[in-house]
Amino acid sequence: MIWIIGGTTEAGSLADFLKAKNVPYIMSVATEESKDFFKNHKLKIGRMDESQMEQFCIEEKISLIADLSHPYALIVSQNAKKTAQNLNIKYLRFTRGTSQSSTDLEQNNFYTFEDMEGLCSFLKELKSSTVFFTTGSKTVSDFEAFRSSNRFVYRILPTADSIEKCKNAGVATQDIIAMTGPFSQNLNEAMFKEYGASYIVMKDSGDAGGTREKLAACEALNIIALILGRGKEEGINEFEEFKKEVLKYGHA
């Protein structure tokens, strides 16, 4: 049995691929709302720590872990890799490439930060600015802690968990945009313009994660993009190659 760790669009594509090949698999997703996107697939719903991952692999007789979690879900990948080592299971990691489009922008159109600390230090210096966040709901409380005179707008997934995180952090209803992507350049432009954003905070989730469209919208509107970088990660960054490797072990 192959365990697909979800969290990216590629995870769903891999599940479709394995289903068409009649290869047994199960995909894990973090929230109940994810069921709506993967109705035709065998799912394990809920977050797991390392010990729960081990128990899950034993119960499901997992022979391969195909990790397609989000590029920034570092703890998930670390725990999955440890689980594979502890149980002597094959582990394959799909790594999205970083966006190539940032190289096309003028230097004064964006800033890249190596970590959250650097990004937050920059944001803390802003006064009376509107900042549009596309970094998800997990870090909302971190940003809200120093919002001060600024307006922080958050575009998040339309899930109860995401909205609750925003409300618990004290975000005003009018500053929450609950929508599911992908977002085109035109739609990004319309949203950024509507909210009068001066800065757009984004992760470098690669072109598949919509980074290209967000950067292009920033360039068109002359808005500054603040990009949270990510550390280098070992894995396979070509999806077709990744599918072949998974299939190889799936038929082993």
- CATH code of residue 110: 3.40.50
Could you tell me if 137 and 152 lie in one domain? yes
Per-residue DSSP letters for 155-206? EE-S-HHHHHHHHHTT--GGGEEE--S---HHHHHHHHHHTT-SEEEEE---
Could you tell me if 105 and 206 lie in one domain? yes
Mean pLDDT value of segment 152-173: 95
Among 34-43, 121-130, 174-183, 242-251, the range scoring the smallest mean pLDDT is: 34-43
Could you tell me if 148 and 80 lie in one domain? no
Could you tell me if 127 and 166 lie in one domain? yes
Residue 193 domain boundaries: 101-228
Among 145-154, 171-180, 221-230, the range scoring the smallest mean pLDDT is: 221-230
Sign of CA dihedral 230, 17, 84, 58: positive
CB 71 within 8 A of CB 135: no
Count of C-beta atoms within a 10 Å radius of residue 174: 9
From 155, 157, 161, 165, select the one nearest 188 (Cα to Cα).
Answer: 155
Ramachandran region, residue 235 (left: φ > 0; alpha: ψ -120 to 50; beta: rest): left
- Amino acid at the residue 187: L
pLDDT digits (tens, 9 = 90+) for 17-76: 999 999 999 999 887 777 777 878 899 988 899 999 999 999 999 999 999 987 667 789
Percent of the chain residues topping a pLDDT of 70 = 90
Could you tell me if 76 and 135 lie in one domain? no
Could you tell me if 220 and 164 lie in one domain? yes
Could you tell me if 186 and 245 lie in one domain? no
Cis peptide before 24 (omega within 30 of 0): no
pTM of the model: 0.65
- Amino acid at the residue 104: D
Could you tell me if 224 and 106 lie in one domain? yes
Tally the domains of the chain.
Answer: 2
Could you tell me if 108 and 216 lie in one domain? yes
The tokens of 125 are what?
A: 């210096």
Could you tell me if 82 and 130 lie in one domain? no
Could you tell me if 148 and 208 lie in one domain? yes
Mean pLDDT value of segment 138-150: 95
Dist. CA 179–CA 201, nearest whole Å: 17
pLDDT attached to residue 97: 64
Could you tell me if 23 and 113 lie in one domain? no
- CATH code of residue 10: 3.40.50.720
pLDDT digits (tens, 9 = 90+) for 16-34: 999 999 999 999 988 777 7
